[in-house]
C-alpha cells in the first residue's frame, strides 16, 4: 500500500428535527446512504416520510441493522438530553445537537512497526449534524417539521450528487454483500459547528446483526 493515501471524501449536512421524529429521520438517512453504497443484486424500495420519498433496499437483515442503529441514535439523544437552558421560558423548544458519523472503509494491508496487518482504512465519511428540538405546542412542532422537510429535501439532492460524482474514489469491490464495503457509525454530542476532529464525547453504538463480521455492522471509528 502506498504511504501517501488519497484524501478522504466527506459530506457534511445539518438537519433540524423534532425529538418525536428523530428515530424515523435517522432511519431514512441511514437507508438513503447505504442505498447509495449498495452494488449487489438489490431489490430497491421507497420509504415515505413528511411527503418525501427515500430510496432503500428491500432486505430484512439490512433493515434490522438500520433500525438498531436508528434506535441507538434516539437512545443517545435521550441519555444526553440537555433540556431547557437556564432562564429559558418553558414554551420554547429545547435544543440539542447530535452528530452522526458514518465511514466507508477499504480493507487493505497497512505497514506497522512489526511488519504489516489487515485494517479498514476510511475512503469516505458522512457527517450529519442533527439539531434536535422539542416542540411543546402544535404550532412549534409544525414549524420544526417544515425545517425538517426542507433539510431532508436538500440532503436527498446533496447525497446523490456526492455519491455520483465520486465514483473514481471507490475501491475495488471485494465482497458480494449488499453493502460491499466495511462501514462504521459513531455518535458525538457536538454543540457548535461541525469540525474534522473526533469528539471526546463519542457515544458507543449497539451493533446490529451483520452479514459476515464487520460488513454490515462495522466498528467504531
Q: Using CA atoms, how far apart are residues 191 and 195, in angstroms rounded to an integer?
A: 11
Look up residue 160 and give its three cell numbers: 446523490
Q: What is the pLDDT of residue 22?
A: 95
Q: Using CA atoms, how far apart are residues 52 and 75, in angstroms rounded to an integer?
A: 25
**Percentage of residues of the chain with pLDDT beyond 90:** 35
- State the average pLDDT over residues 139-148: 94
Q: Using CA atoms, how far apart are residues 205 and 98, in angstroms rounded to an integer?
A: 13
Residue 200 has pLDDT above 80, yes or no: no
pLDDT grade for 169, boundaries at 50, 70 and 90: confident
**Percentage of residues of the chain with pLDDT beyond 70:** 67
Q: Using CA atoms, how far apart are residues 101 and 198, in angstroms rounded to an integer?
A: 10
Alpha-carbon torsion angle 64, 67, 69, 73, nearest 10: -170
Domain boundaries, the chain: 9-80+95-189
Residue 180 has pLDDT above 80, yes or no: no
**Range scoring the smallest mean pLDDT among 6-10, 164-168, 183-187, 188-192:** 188-192
Task: Round the CA-based radius of gyration of the chain to a whole number and report it.
Answer: 18
Look up residue 86 and give its three cell numbers: 437556564
pLDDT grade for 95, boundaries at 50, 70 and 90: low
Residue 83 has pLDDT above 60, yes or no: no
Query: Which class does domain 9-80+95-189 fall in?
Result: alpha beta
Amino acid at each position: 500500500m502506498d504511504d501517501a493515501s488519497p484524501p478522504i471524501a466527506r459530506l457534511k449536512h445539518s438537519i433540524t428535527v423534532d425529538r418525536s421524529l428523530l428515530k424515523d429521520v435517522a432511519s431514512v438517512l441511514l437507508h438513503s446512504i447505504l442505498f447509495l453504497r449498495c452494488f449487489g443484486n438489490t431489490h430497491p424500495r421507497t420509504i415515505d416520510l413528511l411527503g418525501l420519498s427515500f430510496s432503500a433496499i428491500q432486505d430484512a437483515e439490512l433493515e434490522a441493522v438500520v433500525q438498531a442503529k436508528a434506535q441507538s441514535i434516539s437512545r443517545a439523544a435521550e441519555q444526553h438530553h440537555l433540556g431547557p437552558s437556564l432562564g429559558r421560558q418553558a414554551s420554547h423548544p429545547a435544543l440539542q445537537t447530535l452528530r452522526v458519523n458514518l465511514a466507508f472503509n477499504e480493507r487493505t494491508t497497512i505497514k506497522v512497526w512489526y511488519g504489516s496487518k489487515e485494517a479498514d482504512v476510511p475512503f469516505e465519511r458522512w457527517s450529519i449534524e442533527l439539531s434536535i428540538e422539542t416542540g411543546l405546542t402544535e404550532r412549534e412542532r409544525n414549524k420544526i417539521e417544515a425545517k425538517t422537510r426542507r433539510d431532508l429535501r436538500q440532503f436527498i439532492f446533496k447525497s446523490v450528487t456526492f455519491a455520483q460524482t465520486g465514483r473514481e474514489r471507490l475501491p475495488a469491490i471485494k465482497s458480494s454483500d449488499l453493502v460491499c464495503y466495511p462501514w462504521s457509525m459513531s455518535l458525538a454530542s457536538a454543540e457548535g459547528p461541525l469540525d474534522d476532529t473526533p469528539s471526546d464525547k463519542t457515544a458507543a453504538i449497539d451493533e446490529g446483526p451483520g452479514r459476515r463480521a464487520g460488513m454490515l455492522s462495522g466498528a467504531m471509528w
